[in-house]
Chain A
Amino acid sequence: MIESAPDKAKLLPAPESFPWIKFAIAVMIAAGIVYYLFHV
């Protein structure tokens, strides 16, 4: 699939658009699994 200009524009993440909530969820799940495996 060759990216067209509109495709590129769709991908352009403005700095403020970083999905912090999703990031926090991913980090918490990862940390929880590691903690469970190594410390419980």
Chain B
Amino acid sequence: MKDDVKVWDWSIRVFHWSLPVLLFLLWFSATQSQSFDALDHHMILAQILLGLLIYRIIWGFIGTPAARFSRFLTGPASWWIYASALIKRQPIHYLGHNPLGGLMVLVLLGALGFQLLTGLYTSDDILFQGPLVSSADRDTVRWMSRWHKNFFDWILILVALHLTAIALYKLLGEGLVKAMFTAKSP
């Protein structure tokens, strides 16, 4: 499209596509793999994900324009105006994240942060424990371990919501998946 504008820098795209790959591998290493080293792999993958998440948060303050939180974190009024236009099938076009997309970014980053935080305090009471387990009391470790195990389902729900939104935008004529490969926003 002639009017396409390059929006997403390469690091944002690498970050974005790393997430599904890492989430799958983290889930697989924690629950599906029969390998004895599976939890070692889980810990290494978690370190990569934590590094990426911290990078993304910093990038949200000092990164390229479309990556900055100040650009896409709005408030309830913007969400409502945008959602109303969307319901009328007259979506307002934004370069970068729209208000609801920005909200979703915040929710997803928060959910990943919570999952990683609980993982730092998680112990299986046998061989493996997160790096901060020794600094917490037993009740905290038990609470964190339970949430770390169960919260992944909520992340899956958020991923499903994200994919549903992308499918709906496709029906409205906006190819968001392509944009995250080519960097160009229509």
Q: Which of B45-65 contact A (CB under 8 A)?
A: 47, 50-52, 54-55, 58-59, 62-65
Q: How far is the CB of A21 from chain B (nearest CB, A)?
A: 10
Known: A3-B95, A10-B65, A22-B62. A34 touches B54 (CB 8 A): yes
Q: Which of A8-29 contact B (CB under 8 A)?
A: 8, 10-13, 18-19, 22-23, 25-27, 29
Contact-size category for A:
20 to 34
Known: A22-B63, A26-B62. A13 touches B9 (CB 8 A): yes
Verify if B36 is at the interface (C-beta below 8 Å from A): no
Q: Which 7 A-B pairs have the closest CB atoms?
A: A30-B54, A26-B58, A30-B55, A3-B95, A30-B51, A34-B51, A22-B62
Binding site for A on B (CB under 8 A): 5-7, 9-11, 43, 47, 50-52, 54-55, 58-59, 62-66, 92-96, 120, 131-132
Binding site for B on A (CB under 8 A): 1-3, 7-8, 10-13, 18-19, 22-23, 25-27, 29-31, 33-34, 37-38
19 A-B pairs whose Cβ atoms sit less than 8 Å apart in the complex: A2-B94, A11-B95, A11-B96, A12-B5, A13-B6, A18-B10, A18-B64, A19-B62, A22-B63, A23-B59, A26-B58, A26-B59, A26-B62, A27-B55, A30-B52, A30-B58, A31-B51, A33-B50, A37-B131
Given contacts A19-B63, A37-B120, 15 further A-B contacts (CB under 8 A): A1-B94, A2-B92, A3-B94, A7-B95, A10-B65, A13-B64, A18-B9, A26-B59, A29-B55, A30-B51, A30-B52, A30-B55, A34-B47, A34-B50, A34-B51
